[in-house]
Structure 1
């Protein structure tokens, strides 16, 4: 159990004696339940150097890499009045470790800023009603598609469209509908049609034809483990083009902020705006200018995919910097053997993520290739069609199934009648990580 001294700095051009703050530090689960590290402080004056006071946290049992959301409301003192300066709280991702060290890698995901224009904030009289004139600076929007920019009805990066996509993304999907032999053919057909309709709703990260399977796998794990941090990442990237989780920095360069070839012929985006904002920003952070990403378009020419492909060491670094721990690694140059798959099966639990490198040709929507080219997340053990777990004693001629995450879906996605031998020849081991704290 540990107590942390919670504080923050407000970057401002206003004298600190005129500013007051109220802050809290919390995390939120899928049910909306908040866990506080620092309960709401109430109103306090800003200190010299634009710093808040030191507020002792509750006694916390989380590992220091655990991220919380620091939330600050700012008040401007005008005479005897205190005007709340932000309609919504200012928020940032902060790992607990950031309150223990001066290492900036573990600091807040962004600065807290409040700037006034040259015109003073003052109290005015309008008839018999007292109002305050607030003169606060604002910033231009970060993401804009070249084909349909700001003001265009097809602009995919509007605040409303991003919020609508995120609202769906943060909805727990209903379970998949399975064929039920006790139902009539028409009843099963109706159920299957409902399932098709549900699949059009993208509850999970979706890269479509792009080469963002590595970032998709990573953000899927963040979404499942820390839905509050997942939302905050999207919010910060949309607002500023930059964010951090733990010590993992993400920054969208100019090409990511202004993508081209973003739309299909029917005018719809090739991937959701929130997935471009997250996946392209994360993947491009690793790239040099030569391999900068500017489009979600697929293709097999090297300049179309070189900047988007994720090598296993890079994927491992993302998880580690986000606070996860690598538990096991049997990524291989050659395809997996039965023992390697059995070991990965043993790690399937609510405490781990099994991230596997495969040839996508063994999936129902994958294309055949001669090399390993796709990352997936196992959501269950590799099993026979009757549900029996695959072990080192399982005959290679047996047909297998695997519930997994890929291309925005979580379900059984192996090709029909895929044998265990074929599965092994398409799989190149995996990485096992703890959950992201």
Structure 2
């Protein structure tokens, strides 16, 4: 248990004596229930240096790497009145560790900013209603598709479309796999699935990472999408995600039939995350890498990079048996022992062992185990299981969670298609 001094700085061109704030720090579960680290403070005057007061948190049991949502509402003092200046509070992802150390790596995911025009703010009479007129600065939109830019009716990055996609993601899930099975697979790829979906891109590594974020911390998943759409940048723990110009202005987002190759929110999250690791030649500008090797290299996720993402987001690596050679039976049985509700088992495979995966000569796909590897009768695989036995595994891949192994796959074939895994704790 620990108590923290919660504070923030507001970047503003307004004299601090004219600004007041109300602040809270919380996390939210799938049902919308808030767990507070700092309950709403009520209105307080902004201090010199545009900083809030220090507010003592509740006694918190979470690890220091745990991220919360810091929410601030700004009020403008005009005469004797206090006017709420934004329709919605300003919010940012903030790890608890950021309140203990001065390292900016662990600071909030973005700065809190409030700017006014230099025009005088004053009360005006309109009929019987008193209103306050004030202009607040705004920024141009960050993401724009080459084929359907801003103003186009098919623009995929409009605020409304991004919000609609996010609503589907927050239903957990909107459709079960059994419901999806009655829809032809070609049509499923045109629809937004309830989980992160790489669809027709090579972002299986980012997809696995954001799936784990979504399942463990739906509030953080929602917030980071909001921040990416608004600014092109966000941060989870010390993991910074930033979209460069190639990601902000993507090409070839649509196929020959006019369907998106990857949804707007999946492009913003997955391409931004993966491209943050790239420089220059390896920048990503399309969900389809084409035939240029450097485009493929810029989209593929190596296990060292995936491990870095999980650790910087606050998770702990529990076990690792990733290998350049395929797994043996003991390797898989060890991963089976870690396949519990408290862990994420992220495995590197050849996608050809999946019911809808294409055969490849080498390892080419990341999946997340959602259960133990079992025989068809439901018995978990052990070191004494014959390699000729057929197996099943409930797993996450391509936006869905169900038993996705080819129905004829044997344990021996599973071993040849699997190259170990990384085991992480849940995101705090």
Residues 345 and 36 of structure 1: is their aligned pair in 2 closer, same or farther, counting only changes over 3 Å? same
1:1-38 CA-partner distances (Å, limit 9, x unpaired) = 11000000000000000000001000000111100000
Contact 2:145/2:250, CA 8 A, preserved across alignment: yes
RMSD over aligned CA atoms reads 1.6
Q: Match of 1:276?
A: 267
State the match for 1:389 in structure 2. 380
Q: Secondary structure at the match of 1:69?
A: strand
Name 1:193's counterpart in structure 2: 182
2:365 counterpart residue number: 374
> 1:422 and 2:408 equivalent?
no
Q: Which moved more, 1:69-78 or 1:193-202?
A: 193-202
Relative to structure 1, is the Cα distance of residues 260 and 433 closer, same or farther in structure 2, using a 3 angstrom cutoff? same
- Kindly indicate whether the alpha-carbon contact (under 8 Å) linking 2:369 and 2:394 is maintained by their aligned counterparts in 1: yes
Contact 1:154 1:267 in 2 (8 A): no
Aligned to 1:109: 109
Q: Give the aligned partner of residue 173 of structure 2.
A: 173
- Correspondence 1:150 to 2:156: no
- Give TM-score scaled by structure 1 length: 0.95
| SS of 2:182 mapped into structure 1 | helix
Between the aligned partners of 2:369 and 2:169, the Cα distance in structure 1 is: 20
Does 2:224 align with 1:242?
Answer: no
- Paired position in structure 2 for 1:141: 141
Give the Cα–Cα distance (whole angstroms) in 2 for the partners of residues 410 and 283 of structure 1.
23
C-alpha displacement at 1:300, in angstroms?
4.8
Q: Is there any run of 5+ residues in structure 1 with no aligned partner, and where? A: 179-189
Provide the residue aligned with 1:126 in structure 2. 126
Report how many residues are paired.
426
Residue 129 of structure 1: how far off its partner (Å): 2.8
- 2:200 is matched with 209
Match of 2:355 among 358, 364, 386: 364
User: For the residues of structure 2 that align with 1:370 and 1:405, how far apart are their CA atoms?
Assistant: 22
Q: Secondary structure at the match of 1:306?
A: helix
On the 8 A contact 2:363/2:419 being kept in 1, the answer is yes
Select the residue among 238, 252, 257 that pairs with 2:243: 252
Runs of 4+ in 1 over 6 A off after TM superposition: 194-199
Q: Among 295, 315, 321, which residue is 1:324 paired with?
A: 315
Residue 77 (structure 1) aligned with residue 77 (structure 2):
yes
Report deviation, 1:194. Answer: 6.9
Query: How far 1:388 moved relative to its partner?
Result: 1.1
Within 2, Cα distance between the matches of 1:397 and 1:391? 13
2:44, 2:383 → 1: CA distance? 63
- Conserved? CA contact 1:176–1:195, under 8 Å: no
CA contact (8 A) 1:255 1:292 kept: yes
Contact kept, 8 Å, 1:209 with 1:298, in 2: the verdict is no
Q: Residue 195 and residue 145 in structure 1: after superposition, are their counterparts in 2 closer, same or farther (change >3 A)? A: closer
What is the CA deviation profile of residues 236-278 of structure 1, one whole-angstrom value per residue up to 9, with x for unaligned ones? 0000000000000000000100000001122221111000000
Query: Which residue of the partner structure matches residue 406 of structure 1?
Result: 397
- Post-superposition Cα deviations, 1:15-65, rounded to whole Å, max 9, x if no partner, equal 000000001000000111100000000000000000000000000000000
Taking the aligned partners of 2:274 and 2:382, their CA distance within structure 1 comes to 36
Q: Does the 8 A contact of 2:175 with 2:194 survive in 1?
A: no
Going from structure 1 to structure 2, the CA distance change for 1:176 and 1:386 (only over 3 Å counts) comes to: farther
Q: Distance in 2 between matches of 1:27 and 1:253?
A: 29
Cα deviations by residue, 1:379-420 (Å, 9 ceiling, x for unpaired): 011111111111100000111111100011101111121111
User: Unpaired segments of 5 or more residues in structure 2?
Assistant: none
